[in-house]
Amino acid sequence: MVEILRKHNIQFSSFDIFSDEEVRQGLKTFSNWPTYPQLYVSGELIGGLDIIKELEASQELDTICPKAPKLEERLKVLTNKASVMLFMKGNKQEAKCGFSKQILEILNSTSVEFETFDILEDEEVRQGLKVYSNWPTYPQLYVKGELIGGLDIVKELKENGELLPILRGEN
């Protein structure tokens, strides 16, 4: 079942029925389906493995199940999550490396609102963003979805008096 769902890039989560005997037995009654695995979409039972194989063969599976967003789409959404978006090790409250700490101090000194994304929490984003941005290191600062650069670029922009207008979207 998992292999089929992954092959079709279907977004899903799972529950280990061996971890809770009450759920294991109760779900059989609830769904009126005696075996596992069971696939539900939006709370509705679709069926077990045989049904999923039939849906796959008839090419109906892709129309029933939600697709996982492609990484590039996800990165585009993330880089545009806020007008000023910082991808870093750690978050606004606690930087987990010296470079991230320095860039946080610079951004905090500007009083411009910004959001952060902790790349240590999501390996797919951590590796994918390097390719997406064509920038190999972190932190990475984005304004309105466009890469500004890393710590060295941000320091240089601050020294030249160009950082604040960029963060405000004036450039």
For residue 142, the tally of other CB atoms under 10 A from its CB is: 24
Q: Rounded to an integer, what distance in angstroms lies between the CA atom of residue 37 and that of residue 14?
A: 10
Mean pLDDT, rounded, of the chain: 93
CATH topology for 1-64? Glutaredoxin (3.40.30)
Hey, what long-range contacts does 107-111 have (CB within 8 A, 24 or more apart)?
107/141, 107/154, 107/167, 110/163, 110/164, 110/167
Looking at domain 71-168, its CATH architecture is 3-Layer(aba) Sandwich (3.40)
Delimit the domains of the chain by residue range.
1-64, 71-168
% the chain with pLDDT above 90 = 84
b/e map 108-125, b = 16+ CB within 10 Å: eeeebebebbbbeeeeeb
- Whether residue 130 has pLDDT greater than 90: yes
Over residues 118-136, mean pLDDT: 94
pLDDT of residue 36: 95
Average pLDDT, integer, range 57-63: 91
The encoded tokens of residue 11 equal 């977004």
